[in-house]
Chain A
């Protein structure tokens, strides 16, 4: 499995999850887990996704999500999972 972590942070608005998920499904990316909170109107979401069947290059996916974030007015960051597993798991 080729996992990535997507974090979305920013002012809450209608349809953030919907638009991110639409973009992911267009690229054949499967969502494995979502956790989401809103603190003082601030939207905070983390997704674990499987990119094994992703139809585009990972670099392009990062760019696409970054652009989507700008469009919605939130910050969307997509990182390969290993950066976190290496740091926090032995």
Chain B
């Protein structure tokens, strides 16, 4: 029988250490919504989302109520729109209409984000995909809940440098289109290499074409719980440090697995995966940076930071994999700068630089995430950063991503504010040497030698 100490431990995690289920994300295939007519396509999309996801939010709320575990976000991912809309959309206007249909559907079912306004162009772009990418500035500035992503490379295909060059210009255009809110449109746009099909987290989530008609994926968080557990391991050796993280990750994931199975049962939608990612929020005590400090760093960015993050990421995965039969998505540790109080502090104090963050992305679960950069950063420099990050992902066979926010009208020394979960933070300097001649070559970077495994 459960003991009072165990009950107390779980409830302390929830009450004091901010343990929560970060998101229940319902993936919905829109492939059967395709049409030649854009109005018909929008109607089909709206009808399908509203019918499949109508009970998502009330179900999430009921699970929270009955188990006492907060479920912070209820979200939806859909099939990449460039595939669904290719037959119907022949202009930017057509694509923006689809984005608005997604936005309206999301509002109607009460989810705060809908992901999948996406294009997968890791080898090359079709005209439809190019159009979707060009529609991003309008789509993201004229909708509230739509999240977009573009996969520009993979270990198998190499990197589509035409798409990388285009994304540099598009990110700048999205920043311009949302300049009145510190270019916050860019917080809803992720550029990936090796994007996973089953990521429940935003802004990069989409429902992959390999998935079924509908699926429930759950993202569990809990950096505060890991931090508190590590307080008991101060001064102990690395094996004891690793054991502590692993045990904690196991407990968190078991809880996530319960919520996922319960949501799947109630909604009569198959369970997909648990994504065990330590995902910070700007709230105090909900910080991955704080975990790194607890491991023994004076501040994030100090020598040893990459090694500490590598340990954290690996032990979280090991503990999580033992706790659930299906672990997927990104699983590991997120390091979004503007969403993590300690990372903001480190960046403000000059301890954390873009270059150190790039090194950290070699061992974390995502990439350069939520980083405000000067508003006058050139499109080529943004593309250069994307290419660097995609190269890390391609060569290391891991997911990497870039979510940069060139904050129009602001420069180094200023602070950006995106509000809510997106947080805010200081503008980080970008190396001002040009990479324009490199980016403007065109074409693609071939897949690395170790991708040929057939």
Partners in one complex: yes
Interface centre among A44, A79, A87 (most CB of B within 10 A): A87
- A33-B1, A48-B1, A77-B11 are known contacts. Are A84 and B6 too (CB-CB below 8 A)? yes
Are A5 and B7 in contact (CB-based, < 8 A)?
yes
Give the complex CA separation of A30 and B69 in angstroms.
24
Instruction: State the CA gap A88–B4 with chains docked (Å).
Output: 12
Contacting pair B10 A83 (CB below 8 A): yes
Contact with A along B64-95 (1 / 0, CB 8 A): 01111100000000000000000000000000
B66 and A7 within 8 A (CB): no
A82 to chain B, nearest CB (A): 6
Are the CB atoms of B1 and A88 closer together than 8 Å? Answer: no
> Would you call A58 and B254 a contact (CB within 8 A)?
no
Whether A85 lies near B2 (C-beta < 8 A) is yes
Q: In this assembly, does A20 line the interface, its C-beta being within 8 Å of a C-beta of chain B?
A: no
A81 to B254, CA, bound (A): 13
Verify A48–B67 contact, CB threshold 8 A. no
Can you list, as one digit per residue, whether each of A50-90 has a CB less than 8 Å from chain B (1) or not (0)?
A: 00000000110010000000000000010111111111110
Measured in the bound complex, the distance between the Cα atoms of B252 and A88 in whole Å is 10
Q: Which A residues touch B66, using CB under 8 A?
A: 58-59, 62, 79-80
Distance of B70 from chain A, by nearest CB (Å)? 12
Q: Are B68 and A77 in contact (CB under 8 A)?
A: yes
Q: Are B258 and A5 in contact (CB under 8 A)?
A: no
A31 interfacial by beta-carbon distance below 8 Å? no
The listed residue (B7, B9, B251, B257) touching A46 by CB distance below 8 A is: B7
Q: Contacts A77-B11, A84-B10 hold; do A48 and B62 have CB atoms under 8 A apart?
A: no
Interface band, chain B: 10 to 19
Q: A59-B66, A87-B255 are in contact. Are A81 and B2 (CB under 8 A)?
A: yes
Given A5-B2, A33-B1, A48-B2 in contact, is the A84-B65 Cβ separation under 8 Å?
no
Main secondary structure of the interface of A (DSSP, over half): mixed
A87 to B251 alpha-carbon distance, docked (Å): 5
Give Cα distance in the complex from A81 to B65, angstroms: 13
Q: Pick the contact of B62 from A59, A83, A84, A85 — CB < 8 Å? A: A59
Find chain B residues with CB under 8 A from A87 CB: 6, 10, 251, 254-255
Count class of interface residues, chain A: 20 to 34
CA distance A5 to B1 in the complex (A): 11
Is B67 touching A35 in the complex (CB atoms < 8 A)?
Answer: no
Q: Is the CB of A83 within 8 A of B68?
A: yes
CB within 8 Å of A: which B36-68 residues: 62, 65-68
Q: Give every chain A residue within 8 A of B6 (Cβ-Cβ).
A: 84, 87-88
Given contacts A7-B7, A77-B11, A77-B68, contact A83 B255 (CB under 8 A): yes
- Mask for B1-20, Cβ within 8 A of A = 1, else 0? 11010110111000000000
Q: How far is the CA of A59 from the CA of B10 in the complex (A)?
A: 20
Given contacts A59-B62, A88-B10, contact A83 B258 (CB under 8 A): yes
List residues of chain B with CB within 8 A of the CB of A58.
Answer: 66
C-alpha gap A33/B1 in the complex (Å): 9
**How long is the Cα–Cα vector from A67 to B438 in the complex, in angstroms?**
66
Do A46 and B4 have beta carbons less than 8 Å apart?
yes
Tell me which residues across on chain A come within 8 A of B254, comparing CB atoms.
86-87
Which A residue's beta carbon lies closest to that of B258? A86
Compute how far the CA of A25 lies from the CA of B11 in the bound complex, rounded to whole angstroms: 25
Report the bound CA distance from A5 to B2 in whole Å: 9
Taking the nearest CB of chain B, how far is it from the CB of A67, in angstroms? Answer: 14
Chain B residues with CB below 8 A from A5, complex form: 2, 7
Across the two chains, which residue of chain A brings its CB closest to B13? Answer: A87
B residues contacting A by CB (< 8 A) are 1-2, 4, 6-7, 9-11, 62, 65-69, 251, 254-255, 257-258
Please give the residue numbers on chain A whose beta carbons come within 8 Å of chain B beta carbons, in ascending order. 5, 7, 33, 35, 44, 46, 48, 58-59, 62, 77, 79-89
Which A-B residue pairs are the 5 nearest by beta carbons?
A79-B68, A88-B6, A86-B258, A83-B67, A46-B4
Beyond the given A62-B65, A87-B254, A88-B9, could you list 14 further A-B residue pairs with CB under 8 A, ordered by the A residue number? Answer: A7-B11, A33-B1, A44-B4, A59-B62, A59-B66, A79-B66, A83-B255, A83-B258, A84-B6, A84-B7, A84-B10, A86-B255, A86-B257, A88-B10
